[in-house]
Structure 1
Amino acid sequence: IKLMGAYGGLSDAFDGPTHHALEDIAIMRALPNFKVYVASDAVQTDWLVRHALEENGPMYVRLSRDKMADLYDETTNFQDGKGFIVRPGSDATIVACGMMVGNSLQAADILEKEGLSVRVVDMFCIKPLDTELICRCAKETGAIVSAEEHNIIGGLGGAVAEALCAGNAAVPMGFIGTQDCHAECGPYKTLLQAYGLDAEAIANKVRETVAKKK
């Protein structure tokens, strides 16, 4: 079984809550033996489609309707269950997926002007999760913020928190996502801003989380 979930998150913006997908990652994570992926750019999407054809076992791939940032080139060597550090940093780490990777890179640019060095990780494989990378980033930067276009319950943020606890790598953590609610309809970028998913909201969450470091 290979499922491709188009129009993930709020990307089917004007069709409203009946067409938004803010719970899919949590649902699919809970299904036994299902692998869960969130595509972050076009090159990665191409790899995921090919991977789905070649891989045995059930799989869910979440896609967005809106244009994504260009993060990778054709030579990128993707590996199942392995995240990517798309920007180095030493003061905090943003672990993001899908469209939120591009927004997180913008947030890191904002924070760089304030003297904060922020690492950005593309965690395109939600299940199996790259626990080793998450724990290493926590130990090296001392603060984690998860960023997902999804309910904060049960998605990437929950998976990252589980990994930190299991790896004895607990650090201050912030969560970017929709706050357990249905969203209204409207222009996509307006919805991202309204529900705290834009670059400035991510930057604010990083500031709050870094301030909690001992």
Structure 2
Amino acid sequence: MSKGIATREAYGNALAEIGADPRIVVLDADLSKSTKTDVFKKQYPERFINMGIAESNMMAVAAGIASCGKIVFASTFAMFAAGRAFEQVRNSICYPALNVKIGATHAGLTVGEDGASHQSIEDIALMRSVPNMTVISPADGVEARLATIAAAKIDGPVYLRFSRMTSPILFDENTYKFEVGKGVTLTEGNDVTIIATGYMVSEAINAVEMLKSEGISARLINIHTIKPIDKDIIINAAKETGAIVTCEEHNVFGGLGSAVAEVLVENYPVPVRMVGVQDKFGKSGKAQDVMKLYGLTAENIVAKAKEVIAMKKA
């Protein structure tokens, strides 16, 4: 891993990269410096619209523009994109399956000092519950760029989940292959499988090394696409390792852990433990301190891995 950039920054840069396509229009809810859509705005001002602090209206306008054959990226903080504008996302975008991509930044607890009101830990649950929606949660800047490019090629609604905080670069931009709906095995292992998404992939990588130092062989899978989820990679991991730990910067209800458990309970049940926010609101504080307070750490992943391994042997 190397020092990187926030996934929101990679998103902004990717928008400018693909902006030569005249079909692409970007809307923002008066947060373009924070969501990094200002990078697109500087290059293609004629196809950028600041909608003001009116997120619900922004989604309705995005739907209207998309109905005219455009590819629309509508951006704001995840709390407002998934929460405040949920009705418009559901009824105006997903119901008619329009070509709108929601760039939701500042997701999860790593918003830090902004506190519980802005720490969106419910957005994955909301967005994956809506028919026709694709949900993607990139792990680093490389994946965020590729996810943005891929989203533009999908015919239909996409929810892209980005972080505020800088995250390490995990993947080689020259060789990393990103495919919507396909999980990626980052390390092989036989004792337990760790399945992570978003920022928590970097913590999971550290956890794998900690487990290795104790003689525990952990498989690590990056699930960047939470919907549609890669059922095959999850089922195979369950069959081959017999125990699963999920990791997410989100409430354990309705997020990655729930999605993985749904696959397993219908196909190949094994012991599962979920590292995530345990159905509590967030708190204001420095991002890393908040993550530690809520157990979103490599150390907690290691502890949960040992729990499921013991359950497997019981």
* TM-score, reference length from structure 2: 0.67
Q: Secondary structure at the match of 1:213?
A: helix
Cα distance between partner residues in 1 of 2:271 and 2:266? 15
Aligned to 1:63: 162
SS at match of 1:183: coil
CA apart distance, 1:69: 2.3
Is it true that 1:98 corresponds to 2:198 in the alignment? yes
Match of 1:202 in 2: 301
Q: How many residues align?
A: 213
Q: Comparing 46-55 with 57-66, which one deviates more in the overlay?
A: 46-55
Per-residue deviation, 1:104: 0.6
Aligned: 1:19 with 2:135? no
User: Using the alignment, how far apart are the partners of 2:286 and 2:169 within structure 1?
Assistant: 22
| Bigger relative contact order (CA 8 A; separation at least 6) | 1
CA contact (8 A) 2:192 2:244 kept: yes
1:67-98 per-position Cα deviation (integer Å, ceiling 9, x unaligned): 22222112222111000011111100011000
Secondary structure of the residue aligned to 2:178 is coil
Higher helix residue share: 2
8 Å contact kept, 2:245–2:308: yes
1:189 counterpart (285, 288, 291) = 288
List aligned pairs for 1:29-40, cutoff 5 A: 29-40=128-139
| 1:4 matched to 2:103 | yes
Looking at structure 1, the residues matched to 215 and 157 of structure 2 have their Cα atoms a distance apart, in angstroms, of 44
User: Cα distance, 1:23 vs. partner?
Assistant: 0.3
Confirm or deny that 1:122 pairs with 2:222: yes
Q: Does structure 1 residue 43 correspond to structure 2 residue 142?
A: yes
Task: Tell me the SS of whatever aligns to 2:109.
Answer: coil
Secondary structure in structure 2 of the residue aligned to 1:39 = coil
Which runs of no fewer than 5 residues in structure 1 stay unpaired?
A: none
Q: Which residue of 168, 171, 177 maps to 1:77? A: 177
**Residues 110 and 288 in structure 2, CA contact (< 8 A), matched pair in contact too:** no
Moved more, 73-82 or 109-118: 73-82
Of the structure 1 ranges 69-78 and 174-183, higher mean CA displacement relative to structure 2 is found in 69-78
- Hey, what's the Cα distance between the residues in 1 that align with 2:119 and 2:140? 20
Question: Could you list the per-position Cα deviations for residues 137-188 of structure 1 after superposition, in whole angstroms to 9, with x for gaps in the alignment?
Answer: 0111110001000000000000000111222x11111011101110111011
Partner-residue secondary structure (3-state), 1:150: strand
SS in 2 for 1:57: coil
Instruction: Tell me how far apart the structure 2 counterparts of residues 201 and 185 of structure 1 sit (CA, whole Å).
Output: 21
Q: Which of residues 170, 178, 192 is equivalent to 2:277? A: 178
Aligned-partner Cα distance in 2 for 1:32–1:145: 27
The structure whose Rg is larger is 2
TM-score, normalised with respect to structure 1: 0.97
Percent of paired sites with the same residue: 42
Unaligned runs of 5+ in 2: 1-99
SS at match of 2:179: coil
The separation in 2 between residues aligned to 1:141 and 1:67, in whole angstroms, is 32
Give the Cα separation in 2 of the matches to 1:161 and 1:179. 16
Instruction: Tell me which stretches of 4 or more aligned residues in structure 1 moved more than 6 Å.
Output: none
